[in-house]
A and B are shown apart, each in its own frame.
Chain A
Amino acid sequence: MKNKTLFLVMALLCAILMVASVATKTVEAEEKTLKALKAGFIYVGPPGDYGWTHAHDEARKICETFFPWLKTIYVESVPEGQAGSVIDRLIKEEGCQVIFTTSFGFMDETLEAAKKYPEKIFAHCSGFERAPNMATFMADFYQVYYLNGLIAGALTKTGKIGYIGAYPIPEVKRHKNAFDIGVREVNPTAEVHVRWINAWFDPDAAAAATESLIAEGCDVFAFTEDSPAVVQTAAKYGFPSFGHYSPMYKFAPDYVVSGQIVHWEVFYLDFLAKVYAGLYTNQNLENVDYWLLLREGAVEVGAEPGMVINPIYEEALKAVTVDDSLLGKISVYDLCLKRLKQMSDPSMVFDPFEGPIYDRNSLLVVPEGTRLSVSELTAIEWAVEGIVGPWPGEPGVE
């Protein structure tokens, strides 16, 4: 029967293909220049999220252009739990010598891989586990949120400011607190109303949360979510907002006042250069923890790079003044720029988390004259006074 022979032929073809694939070597040519370095990047989302992963990917591209000896490869949207096998592939099939994992959820798998491949180098973002061949890195926004808070405090007419956050984890709590500290410095009676959408990326939820805060009377908005949904929703109703993570000025040029922008290349360039130069090896990374702030240039305040404050709002901000104990009577506009300078100074002349700070249950959480250490910053659970709304995991409230 004709069908039968055809079928057999097809089956044979398939078999040949399979055998051929196993038997032959891959076509790809290994470019071996003097000394090349191949780095693998594991992303938890797509570079198209225009948020977290996008920022890492932009940094990756900068590294590749900057370093002629560097080859990079990235894997996007890796579900948590699957990073281990992706790392296996990157190392076994792609020959990567350095692996970057860019999400907290990959921590355990990265550590496991570090133990499994002691000759390779690993760096994990936003985690706290390290090994001789595994470093950690993080760029934090708390100072930037503080600056945004100063602006928000001056712009609000209702005295209520909205902050839509992702997860109630110390990182986001820290940012909300810093924001509130800034707000209250300019406007001691203002409130920061908070909401949690329990997702890093959920534009619909962010939009709904924004609308819910608008209904509560908020008129200025900050957020931690990987999309411009909040900016667009707020703009729809005519309210200003602060862009998050990637430059969001273009989404609402009349309404984005400022924001937080990240420059991961500050880390990647430094780390990769040190690995290439042999300064970082697979033995000495146990205590390498990058905690990058304004002074390193890893984070930036602004609606887009170079625009600290949207010029449309300049006048409004100059019109509001604050009485500062050290600086005297100063407009919010100037205060903002001054604080930026102070925090960008290598010795960090100013820090928003310098005591005395009281949480919203009137507990003294930071004593007068002291600052929070990095480990204390990464473990914040309390809410500063002025914050209104649900705060899961608040100490002393159960």
Chain B
Amino acid sequence: MRMLKIEKKTYTSTKSILFGSLVALLMGFGIASLIFWAYGVNLLYAYQKILKGSFGSSFAVSETIRRAIPLLLCGVGLSLAFRASFWNIGAEGQILAGAIAATWVALFSGIPEPLLIPAMFFFGFLAGVVWGFIPTFLKSKWQVNEIITTLMLNFIAASIVLYLIHGPWRGEEKRGFAYTNTFPQVAWLKMIGTTRVPWLTLILGLVAATLVYILVWKTTWGYEIRVIGENPDAGRFAGMSHFKVVLLVMFISGGLAGIAGVGEIAGIHHLLRNPEHISLGYGFTAIIVAWLARSNPLAVILTSLFFGAMFSGGDTIKVSLGIPFQAIYAINGIILSLLIASIVFTDYKISIRR
């Protein structure tokens, strides 16, 4: 049986990372082209449309940014979590937690109108933190695998949303359909110009990315996070508290995801509805966004934009090319696999052992 000898390189240059990713992307697009061709779509036309649909007009750019914002917020949080080797797969659930909190504030809290938006973000952040706390606690105290706990909490959060919209929070104005009432206008996020991009969450995302970057590389906290992430034993040896570090990390990660949820609810939906339509898989996509950015919050800005463009271009594919959306889903998966493989080739030196 052939054996690949794989050694981790001591240093990987940004250039080779970019190069490797680019090759993977091109291969991915190559496969995508096959699918387009199978659907009888002119390839040049297809790519023109896709690029135009993601960047080619101010509308397209705004769509790309709009889709990128929740990915940016969650991605930054996840990049921090992953850096501490805490595999937070629960961003979907934390988004929903934020959404629930925002709904409560807007409809049931009785908070005075001018304070509604700040309150929504405050409580949304808190809700995300709370939702992320359970797996954090379980991991720190009893080494319970966080991959599973965070994953399960996604479904539980979705169930809670479903319960609320069908039961106690069902809106009287909605003729029996499963929605809460629509939020008052003051609780709607303001957009940039005529686009659908809410400036508040955009700024929050960019600020978060910067702050987290500073946190990780310029503070002692950040140092501890990095040590715990790469070598937990060394950290323990040096007297670092694993619990406190992970708590801080998840505080930010859960909170940012909660904010993403608030952004979606207050910016797009203005009510609570079917959880799948709220979180839209952003929590899972953000995992990939963070991973692709090698857990670097500034790079997350780029990768979130990239995926924003994929979504936006995907919409174009759906609308203009008539290619079923499942194709995009499959293409994304294939591109992701190729990117995973490319990481190996950039991060590791491979030789065949005979």
Contacts and interface: CB of A to CB of B under 8 A. Distances in A.
Contacts of A85: 63, 66, 196, 315
A80 interface: yes
B55 A86 contact: no
A93 B15 contact: no
B26 A86 contact: no
A90 to B, nearest CB: 6
Interface in A60-84: 73, 75-77, 79-82, 84
B219 interface: no
Contact of B52 (A22, A108, A167, A379): A22
A64 B59 CA distance: 29
A169 B273 contact: no
Contacts of A26: 45, 48-49, 52
B178 A18 contact: no
Interface string B249-283: 00000000000000010001110011011101000
Given A392-B166, A393-B176, A94 B52 contact: no
A94 B320 contact: yes
A363 interface: no
A170 B175 contact: yes
A173 B175 CA distance: 12
B19 interface: yes
B56 interface: yes
A81 B66 contact: no
A349 to B, nearest CB: 30
A350 B291 CA distance: 65
Contacts of B37: none
A152 B277 CA distance: 37
Given A90-B319, A198-B166, A4 B45 contact: no
Given A7-B18, A105-B273, A170-B175, A81 B278 contact: yes
Given A3-B16, A4-B15, A75 B318 contact: yes
Contact of A27 (B16, B44, B277): B44
Nearest to A170: B176
- Chain B binding surface SS class: helix
Interface in A339-398: 378-379, 381, 392-393
B128 interface: no
B22 A22 contact: no
A379 B48 contact: no
A89 interface: yes
| Best-surrounded residue of A11, A17, A85, A169 (most CB of chain B within 10 A) | A85
A13 B289 CA distance: 24
Nearest to A167: B178
Nearest to B278: A81
B248 interface: no
Contact of B176 (A77, A82, A128, A381): A381
Contact of B22 (A11, A88, A198, A378): A11
B51 interface: yes
A108 B57 CA distance: 26
Nearest to B25: A14
A3 B176 CA distance: 62
Contacts of B270: 108
B162 interface: yes
| Best-surrounded residue of A3, A20, A80, A84 (most CB of chain B within 10 A) | A80
Contact of A88 (B19, B59, B182): B59
Contacts of B196: 84-85, 88
Given A21-B51, A22-B56, A169-B176, 15 more contacts: A3-B15, A3-B19, A7-B22, A11-B22, A22-B51, A26-B49, A27-B48, A79-B280, A81-B273, A89-B53, A89-B320, A93-B320, A104-B177, A108-B182, A198-B178
Interface of A: 3-4, 6-7, 10-11, 14, 17-18, 20-22, 24, 26-28, 46, 73, 75-77, 79-82, 84-86, 88-90, 92-94, 104-105, 108, 128, 167-170, 173, 198, 378-379, 381, 392-393
22 contacts: A3-B16, A6-B19, A10-B23, A10-B26, A26-B48, A27-B48, A75-B318, A79-B277, A79-B280, A80-B274, A80-B277, A81-B264, A81-B277, A89-B53, A89-B319, A89-B320, A105-B179, A108-B182, A167-B178, A379-B175, A392-B166, A393-B176
